[in-house]
A and B are shown apart, each in its own frame.
Chain A
Amino acid sequence: MGEEIIKKSQVVVIGAGPAGLCAAIEARKAGATVLVLDENDRPGGQLFKQIHKFFGSGKHWAGLRGFRIGENLLKEAGQLGVKILLNAEVYGIFDDMTVGYIRNGVEKAIKGERIIIATGGIENALPFPGGTLPGVMGAGGVQTMVNIHRVLPGKKILMVGSGNVGVIVSYQLMQAGAEVVGIVEAAGRVRAYEVHLNKIKRAGVPIYTSHVVKEAIGKDEVEGAIIARVDDNLNIIEGSEKHLDVDCLCIAVGLNPQIELPYIAGCKFSYIPERGGYIPVFDENMETSVKGIYVAGDVAGIEEASIAMEEGRLAGIACAGSLGLYDKETEEKLKKEVKKILRAMRTKHDSRIIHSLTGIPSNDRFEKGPVAVIECKEEIPCNPCESACVFGAIKVGEPITNPPVLFEEKCTGCGRCIPKCPGMAIFLIHKNYTDKTSLIKFPYEYLPVPEKGGLVSCVNRNGEIISRGRIIDIKASKKDDGTKIIAMEIPKEYFNDVRGIQIRGDGI
């Protein structure tokens, strides 16, 4: 055995997901040598599974589909000369900042002056009888099957968990042609953002709050599921059982930080259930209790991809600063910018105070002509609607978590905001389209697309068919990246109720 010479890099990033890529980009911008290790055969982490449009700041990534953000980040990293080593499985971090990994069947090591751990999260398991049957799958795996490999995990799916992941994956399953038989949620209320939930409700998916999966039924694979109502202590209420005919249970009950590497590296932890459990303790630079080792993204607490990216940037800048690649002033200035964004994205108001002002037009305004209806009243760090409106009729302001406000007198009814909303929560309504009909324009991402001139079944916010409508126009612009704008004529009495059409219903 010859004496091994261990290669060195100023910054070693573990994980090429949103946090890791942003960290690498920032460190490289400052001139550091950067090596990113990722165990997958393509970079981007979970981003490439994300076919929905992301929330966020209009200045950054908002309104882009997750995989597009991944493409952009990779392009930027490539231009800067960030080295990304794929199929590199990190198996341990040892003393002296040595990272051991396996690649192409060979064990190797790299020594970093700084190490940024951006290994993301791992799905929570949910134990229940029958939970080991084939057909019970994690939401992450389902997303990979559906969005990457384009294979459906089942035809009739029960989603377990109503967080953002659960409802987004439900939506994607329906886009791919599966039936989502229901969403089960142990808590008394849905956890996801309302705009995500509304997309599911419009599709008519039953939401079972205060319910759990009691059992998955089946001999060799899932053939059904029994759900049951629970009381406040999560005890099953006898007699409330209900059998659902499903062939797949998709488990989306949250994530926890993938802490193996920080644990092995000797980092200290704190226990924060709302961030996913044990989380490495880190300071305002994302540096852990082990000097030189940083964390960013879900490994530092489960949050959203947009936050992971900012944390990555912060870690990258801080690493570069500590390596002396920035003067103190520049470092502080750059960090301050990122911290401001992070703070804004995490700010929550007292929801009782906010808004008498809303995104909903007055009755008078409806009478006057086409107007945008923004059905978004939650605090989401997102503002593309604001920048979409060239007339200044939509305001989010600061912090970015403010719900949008519609200045109805400025709204011209142009509808440019409709496809820009990642939450698909903006509609354009022309109440007095004709004497007897109204016109509604809404975003649509299912296949097949209804035919122009065709008659379709219209649904309300809960997915109930309440009337018939005629498709007047379908707009599919390349810059809307797959989101179609459908204009539909409906009976006037339903102008405030119809919010979509029956997916794959008659007439389509």
Chain B
Amino acid sequence: MSHEKNVCICRCEEVTEGEILRAIEEGARTVKGIKIRTQATMGLCQGRTCRRLIVNILSKHVDINDISKLEIGIRVPVRTIKIKNFIYDEGKGYE
């Protein structure tokens, strides 16, 4: 849908479509391969917005039907969490 190579795909890390295409040229065939080469998806939102755009770009180069081959990199936690929230102990409060 985009018409210019410098259009921003990953807003957190400011990665453009051109950079992603270059990563694919270098051999990236997965979202993780693109991440390693461009830092796309490495920001605060962890790819919530751009992962899908990256898969769309990849779809012109690889078969995207099998998600397990794309290393799309969704990990726990699916939301950002304060460390503090994990160290609360019933009775003792925040340790």
Asked if the two chains touch in their complex, CB atoms less than 8 Å apart, one says yes
Check A391 for interface membership: any CB of B closer than 8 A.
Answer: no
* Partner among A102, A126, A264 whose Cβ is within 8 Å of the Cβ of B76: A264
**A4 CB to nearest B CB, Å:** 8
Q: A91-B79, A105-B82, A234-B1 are in contact. Are A127 and B8 (CB under 8 A)?
A: yes
Question: In the complex, are the beta carbons of B53 and A125 less than 8 A apart?
Answer: yes
A107 touches B1 (CB 8 A): no
Complex: A259 Cα to B72 Cα, angstroms: 11
| Contact among B53, B84, B88, B89 for A127, CB-based, below 8 A | B53
Contact call B88/A278, Cβ cutoff below 8 A: no
Q: Chain A interface residue count: which class?
A: 35 or more
Interface string of A125-138 (1 = CB under 8 A from B): 11111011000000
Q: How far is the CB of B93 from chain A (nearest CB, A)?
A: 10
Contacts of A125 in B (CB 8 A): 49-50, 52-53
B7 to chain A: closest residue by CB: A127
A277 touches B52 (CB 8 A): yes
Contact A129 B52 (CB under 8 A): no
Interface string of A202-214 (1 = CB under 8 A from B): 0000000000101
Most central of A107, A235, A256 by chain B CB within 10 Å: A107
Q: Is the CB of A128 within 8 A of B85?
A: no
B90 at the interface (CB under 8 A from A): yes
Task: Give bound CA distance, A1 to B9, whole Å.
Answer: 44
User: Contact: A127 with B9, CB < 8 Å?
Assistant: yes
The answer to whether A212 touches B1 (Cβ under 8 A) is yes
Chain B contacts with A in 50-95, Cβ cutoff 8 A: 50, 52-53, 55, 64-65, 67-68, 72, 74-79, 81-82, 84-86, 88-91, 95
Q: How far is the CA of A100 from the CA of B7 in the complex (A)?
A: 37
Which residues of A sit under 8 angstroms from B72, Cβ to Cβ?
Answer: 263
Cβ of A386 under 8 Å from chain B: no
Asked whether A102 and B81 contact (CB < 8 A) given A2-B91, A127-B2, A186-B1, the answer is yes
B22 at the interface (CB under 8 A from A): no
Q: Which of A107, A236, A256, A268 contacts B3 (CB 8 A)?
A: A236
B75 neighbours in A (Cβ, 8 Å): 264
> How long is the Cα–Cα vector from A328 to B88 in the complex, in angstroms?
44
Question: Bound state CA distance, A261 and B2, in angstroms?
Answer: 29
* Residues 1-23 of B at the A interface (beta carbon under 8 Å): 1-4, 6-9, 11, 17
Partner of A256, one of B50, B52, B64, B85: B52
Q: Mark A255-295, 1 if CB is under 8 A from B, else 0.
A: 01001110110001111000001100000000000000000
Proximity string of chain A (419-453) to chain B, C-beta cutoff 8 Å, 1 when within and 0 when not: 00000000000000000000000000000000000
Picked from B1, B48, B67, B78, the residue with its CB within 8 Å of the CB of A126 is B1
A128 touches B84 (CB 8 A): no
Which residue in A89, A107, A131, A271 is a CB contact (below 8 Å) of B7? A131
Assess the B78–A214 pair: CB atoms within 8 A: no
In the complex with contacts A127-B17, A260-B78, A132-B88 CB distance below 8 A? no
CB pair A39–B1 under 8 Å, yes or no, is no
List residues of chain A with CB within 8 A of the CB of B48. Answer: 122, 260
B residues lining the A interface (CB < 8 Å): 1-4, 6-9, 11, 17, 48-50, 52-53, 55, 64-65, 67-68, 72, 74-79, 81-82, 84-86, 88-91, 95
28 pairs, CB–CB < 8 Å, chain A vs chain B = A1-B89, A2-B89, A2-B91, A39-B79, A89-B79, A89-B81, A90-B79, A91-B79, A100-B76, A105-B85, A106-B88, A107-B86, A125-B50, A125-B53, A127-B9, A127-B53, A128-B1, A129-B4, A129-B7, A131-B7, A132-B11, A186-B1, A235-B3, A236-B3, A263-B74, A264-B74, A269-B67, A271-B67
Closest A-B pairs by Cβ, 5 of them:
A91-B77, A92-B76, A260-B78, A106-B88, A269-B67
